[in-house]
Amino acid sequence: MAVESVPPWDPPTAHRGGRSRLPLLPRLSCSVLLFGFVLLCAVGIASSLIWGDGTPGDLRIDRNEAVGTWRDGDGGSLTLNMDGTFQASALCGHYRGASSTEVFDLTPRTGSGTWTFHAPETGSTEVRLTFAQVRDLTSFTSGGTHAKPVLWQWLGDPDEGRLCKLHRAP
C-alpha cells in the first residue's frame, strides 16, 4: 500500500481537489485582518493628502475679512479693528520681544497694540501683531476656508506639531 506524502515546502492549500486544508475560521480571520490593514492604509494616505502636516492650509483673505473677533480653543480672544489696533485677552501664541535677540515665549498675552496686514502675491495672508505695553511681536497666518477661516501659528518647534488656532467668533 502506497502512502502519498506532501513535501514540507508545499503550502497547506496545495492539496488535491483544490480545497484548503486550513479550517474556515483561520481563513476568515486572515481575510478580515488583510481587509483591515488595507483600509487603515487607505485612511492614512487620504488623511495625509487632505490635512498634510496638520496646518489649516493656505487661504488668501483681504483686510476686511481679517477685521473682527477671533477666539482660540482655550478662551483666548483677539479683536482686530479696522483702524489697525487690536485687543487681546489670554491669546495663545509664540511671542518674541522687539529685539531679535530675545528668546521666544509661549505665555498667552493680554493687551492691546497695532496690527499690520501682509498679503503676498501667492499663498496665505499674514496678520502681524505688536503689543504696545511690552513690545512683543507675533504673527498669524490665514488658513481654513472662506466659510470657516482660521488664523494660526506654530507654538514652538513645528516638529512638535502644536498649533495656536484662532476661529472667527460668531
Give the pLDDT confidence of 40-81 residue by residue, as tens digits.
655 555 444 444 445 677 888 999 999 999 999 999 999 999
Domain assignment of residue 3, yes or no: no
Q: Where are the alpha helices (DSSP H) in the chain?
A: 24-51, 63-66
Q: What pLDDT shows up at residue 51?
A: 44
Please provide the distance, in angstroms rounded to a whole number, between the alpha carbons at the two ends of the chain: 88
CATH code at position 150:
2.40.128
Q: Are residues 41 and 77 in the same domain?
A: no
Q: Are residues 80 and 24 in the same domain?
A: no
Classify each residue of 72-107 as buried b or exposed e, where b means 16 or more C-beta atoms within 10 Å of its C-beta.
beeebbbbbeeeeebebeebbbbbeeeeeeeeeeee
Q: Are residues 40 and 84 in the same domain?
A: no
Q: Are residues 92 and 152 in the same domain?
A: yes
Domain assignment of residue 2, yes or no: no
For 98, the 3-state DSSP assignment is: coil
Nearest to 139 by CA among 99, 103, 91, 101: 91
Domain hosting residue 135, numbered range: 63-168
Mean pLDDT of the residues in the chain: 78
Least confident interval from 13-27, 74-88, 109-123, 149-163? 13-27
For 14, the 3-state DSSP assignment is: coil
CA-based R_g, the chain, Å: 28
Q: Are residues 130 and 48 in the same domain?
A: no
Q: Are residues 33 and 98 in the same domain?
A: no
Domain assignment of residue 83, yes or no: yes
Domain count, the chain: 2
Q: How far apart are CA 36 and CA 43, in angstroms?
A: 11
Q: Are residues 24 and 73 in the same domain?
A: no
How big, in percent rounded to 5, are the helix, strand and coil portions of the chain? 20, 30, 50
Q: Are residues 33 and 86 in the same domain?
A: no
Q: Are residues 73 and 39 in the same domain?
A: no
